[in-house]
Structure formats: C-alpha cells, structure tokens
A and B are shown apart, each in its own frame.
Chain A
Amino acid sequence: EAGVAQSPRYKIIEKRQSVAFWCNPISGHATLYWYQQILGQGPKLLIQFQNNGVVDDSQLPKDRFSAERLKGVDSTLKIQPAKLEDSAVYLCASSLLYARGYEQYFGPGTRLTVT
C-alpha cells in the first residue's frame, strides 16, 4: 500500500514570508497528524484531525500557523508569517480509527529552512 505522501520535501524561505505544506494520508485513514521536529529533538504534535474535524490543536501557534483537512482526506499546513525558529522538519502522519495499536504511519517530512 502507498505510504503517507508529503510535498515539498525541502523549502527555503525568508522570514516573514508564508509557506504551505501538503499531506496525502494513507487511503482510508481517518486520523491525520502534523508534527514539528526541530533538529536534535523528538517530533512535537501540532494538530490532530479526525476526518475533517480538529481533535487537538493545543500546541499549534495559532497566530501564525493554520491547518485544514477538507473532505477528510488531504491536508495543508500553513505558516504566515514565518519566523527563524520555525526552521524544522514538518511531519505528517495518519492512522486508522480502529486498528492494532492505532499505530501512526509517518511521511518523509518537509524540511523548512527560514533565513
């Protein structure tokens, strides 16, 4: 089965610019997650969707970050305006609603560099 797809794989922008990341989860997976991974740290959950509804966005910096999951499939994560500290890898993951361990399947990530 195809894995979680993300694009772009790399992005370099200047501070105060905007950027968007796209994620296509595994077919049939109702739950979608966006994580931020700063170099040397473990991933941090930003937002979790159940179908097209938000379950948890408590760690999403809502003044600059936004995310949507239209039609309960693909999702986009946007940063506007970007800051230097947003430089990180942004990981998308998906999982079945009911499955063994509700294991999350991760995409390869988008590496963002803000200069």
Chain B
Amino acid sequence: DAKTTQPPSMDCAEGRAANLPCNHSTISGNEYVYWYRQIHSQGPQYIIHGLKNNETNEMASLIITEDRKSSTLILPHATLRDTAVYYCIVRVGVDSWGKLQFGAGTQVVVTP
C-alpha cells in the first residue's frame, strides 16, 4: 500500500474549520483514502473515505485533488471533543482484505 505523509501536529480554535492535509503521492488507481481518528485512551474511529470524488458526511468533508496525490480532511466547526490523533490511510479496494496501515498521524488540539 502507498504511504502517507501528515504533519505531526496542528492547533485549531474552537468553532473554526480544521483543515488536515495528507500527501499520498504514490497512490495507485485502486487505492482509497481513509481517515480515522483516535481520541486519547480510545480505539480509532472511522471518519470518512473516498476514491477520487469529494465526500461529505455528518462528521467531516474529504477533498481529494484531481491527481489524487493529496487530500484534505475538513472538520467544519471544530469542538473540544475533536481533539485527537487523525490518521490518513490509503487502502486497496473496499473489501475486507485491504489492510489499514496506520502511520503516526496528526495530533490535533482544539483550543477554546
């Protein structure tokens, strides 16, 4: 699977949008971009995934560049509960055999 590059940390003010970048320059055509987050002392939680189109759900929006070499996760109105480590992962296909290979992620701290 392709590797991803994320900044190690970022801060965000409560109520503002948080834009989390991810580089995946070696992504293959059949690899999806997944985002998970892990709040302290909890297991990771699925946020969103996409192939090439932008995606939005109740938690976040995912913007994937046209060349698919990078993406941005957008938390539209960050709250203190969004403080977590955010992982960007590329994964082959959407079947259960596709591994999730977690990197170190981005530590996001939302401040009042």
A interface with B by C-beta (< 8 Å): 4, 30-31, 40-45, 48, 50, 55-56, 91, 93, 95, 97, 101-109
Contact yes or no, B99 A102, CB < 8 A: no
Contact yes or no, A109 B43, CB < 8 A: yes
Interface residues of B in 14-70 (CB under 8 A from A): 32, 34, 41-46, 49
Main SS of the interface on chain B?
Answer: loop
Q: Which listed residue, B46, B85, B95, B97, touches A104 by the CB 8 Å rule? A: B46
Instruction: Tally the A-B contacts, defined by beta carbons under 8 Å.
Output: 58
List A contacts of B95 (CB < 8 A): 102
CB distance from B44 to the nearest CB of A (A): 5
Closest 4 CB pairs of A and B: A106-B43, A42-B102, A103-B46, A31-B96
